[in-house]
Structure 1
């Protein structure tokens, strides 16, 4: 009878430990190794749409330029503008352990630069650089992507400055076709003036 009590206590302890481990693993944010960029840009999307901003957009496609002024409340435009940034999710299971992290700290201003650099040649994005203020809030994001093989080359540079500017430069070359170059510059300004 004494052995049964000891076995019961042992299994009860193991059961509690298993439940405790399962609860810890169910929290996805505790498993994330990198800053959750999709969440950050989803929040920026909401902030731009909810405040009184005007977007001044310039698009250059293969040397042809077009400009437009768009309201920041246009949800489709703002979402499409920030979508490439939202797609840069370094916490995807397929990208685990594919990036090295380094940081630079400015003791005078308290600002910090965080750099995620790909360990492989063909990992996209290949590099993410974030500028943080002294409270740790993201102020600026640079995302670089590069892919190349015998028939295809793709380069993309994304730049976001919080509630001020978005810049995207894309170069795409497919074998036997002429390359395509796209540059988008957007200035985000309050409706009352820049």
Structure 2
């Protein structure tokens, strides 16, 4: 059993760090959501901010957009050119995706400074891309409302998850390319010496 743990030490370390940080960050975020709701019909501050910033992006792209707090559910109504195109709910603010991103980076952490810089840069990028994702989705729903289902459930979630995947790949590639090369060179030397 001890040998099994030693053999898979790096895998177990990754799983413990990933799950541990994911659970801790999710609990903190859940606590924030619980504390931020004045009543059951009020969106949290971050969701409201994302809705307002997405509206600002739409306005900067030449569309007349506005967001209005929904009075019956914790969401923000998004209107483009006077047409209701959707609701921005807590799940649209990208915080859960940022938590997933951060947990993976922590699980593959490098030096504290390098990890912290990558987490901050990645979280800002994900947040920013999410704003544009919502704006472009709103434009698509305004112009092509018949494609609402595929746009909302496939295309636009695919964009944000693809970004997170690319960031993960970049992070892993920046961590150990030298070790892999050195290990491969050492193995080749050992094979030649035999």
TM-score by length of 2: 0.33
Structure richer in strand, relative to its length: 1
TM-score w.r.t. the length of structure 1 is 0.33
